[in-house]
Homo-oligomer: A and B are copies of this chain.
Amino acid sequence: MQSEMTEEEIDLLDYNYDLPGSLPGTLNIPDDAAPTELVLISYDAKHSVQKTLHQPDECLPYLEQKMVCWLDVRGLGTEDVLRQVGGIFNLHPLLLEDVVNVPHRPKLDLYDDQLLMIVHMVRPSKRGHGFIAEQVGFILQHNVLLTMQEESLWDCFDPVRDRLKRNLGMLRQRGAGYLTYTLLDTLVDGYFPVLEQYGEYIEDLEDEVVMRPTRQTLQKIHELRRELLMLRRYIWPQRTVINSLIRDGSDFLTQENRIYLQDVYDHIIQILDILETYREVSSSLMDVYLSSVSNRMNDVMKLLTVISTIFIPLTFIAGVYGMNFNPAASPLNMPELNWYWGYPLCLGVMATIALSLFTFFWRQGWFANFSAPPPESDR
């Protein structure tokens, strides 16, 4: 998934799929995929080497050492390099296909000698809400971790690289399993800033929807619900993935690493909790919007009714005394027109009617709402 595209809008059908009838193992590489880069980090408690590789086979000497080896494949655009990596690490063609044809639903496959895990990292979009997702494939073998990232420009693993380089925490003392945990932990924690941004966005929308609902508000709520659905689609299967890893991953992870993973699992549950709350709140927001629009319409109707109800009877009275019945033809024909107090009396009756109706509406509380929203916030 390209960041430029998703910056705009998140695609509803957000899985890569093969053309019906294509051969199993076909790699679908889009034209604008980032060219593949290879970065190798090899470390033990005492040493740490970081090296950018030009050819996949440059990593072979490192794989034979006792040091932990992390080969980070960034960008899935160069088929040739990807196939070489597949060959070196002895990857099943279907497995390589799953990792390269992004995005794929998060999954965990356990083989005899290796473990494949597909997860997604996210970062907040710069629009004030929304997110950009990127797939990461983890392939873990004895003391070698291979990660395959969709994009080359950005990932959330820099703090881990920094900890490896500066030997912070226990990371360098542990094996590839602990590195896997550390990367997963970092990746899952990366969902929280996205959620925090959404939290603020929802609170803004809550104000907007009651105080000044516009057509854009409606679109925003719909878009929000849609984005939360998509975000849930990324994180929900990761729950199963991590859970399976804790339960069944004993061939690849020590007991202690799995205790650490329990912490990652707790975080995913928290993220799902929060997402569920967001979804229910945004559903409620749609109801509030509809009620709000009805309320507005009510106000408009009230204004029209007040004006009409006050002036229509007055206009009728004016109309009556505008009739041309001939007072000369009969003493019954509009004698009021010739009364001494005729005109003031007529105006007085009109004023009385207007005042009575106005008082009636005032006491019914119809004017309460007009003053409530200040004009400047109502535009």
Contacts and interface: CB of A to CB of B under 8 A. Distances in A.
A338 B326 contact: yes
Interface in A226-248: 226, 229-230, 233
Interface string A15-27: 1011111111000
Identify the interface centre among A186, A202, A263, A323: most chain B CB within 10 Å of its CB.
Answer: A323
Interface stretch (A47-55, A70-78, A134-142, A215-223): A215-223
Interface in A47-103: 94, 98
A15 to B, nearest CB: 5
Interface in A135-164: 156-160, 162-163
Given A22-B159, A230-B277, A329-B338, A298 B300 contact: yes
Nearest to A188: B20
Contacts of A29: none
A263 B269 CA distance: 27
Interface in A192-238: 192-193, 195-196, 198-199, 202-203, 206, 210, 214-215, 218-219, 222, 225-226, 229-230, 233
A266 interface: yes
Given A206-B222, A304-B304, A312-B307, A344 B324 contact: no
Interface in A336-379: 336-344, 346-347, 363-365, 368-369, 372, 375, 378-379
Contacts of A22: 159, 189
A155 to B, nearest CB: 11
Contact of A342 (B218, B289, B330): B330
A3 interface: no
**Nearest 3 A/B pairs, CB to CB:** A21-B159, A318-B319, A365-B379
Nearest to A224: B284
A44 interface: no
Nearest to A338: B329
Nearest to A290: B291
Given A296-B298, A322-B324, A344-B332, A17 B192 contact: yes
Identify the interface centre among A20, A260, A269: most chain B CB within 10 Å of its CB.
Answer: A20
A329 B339 contact: yes
Contact of A24 (B185, B316, B338): B185
A305 interface: yes
Instruction: Please state the number of chain copies in the assembly.
Output: 5
A21 B297 contact: no
Given A20-B190, A290-B290, A300-B305, A325 B313 contact: no
A365 B342 contact: no
Nearest to A287: B286
B292 A295 contact: no
A325 B343 contact: yes
A331 to B, nearest CB: 9
B338 A343 contact: no
B342 A325 contact: yes
Given A308-B304, A325-B321, A105 B315 contact: no
A294 B213 CA distance: 12
A301 interface: yes
Contacts of A297: 294, 297-298, 301
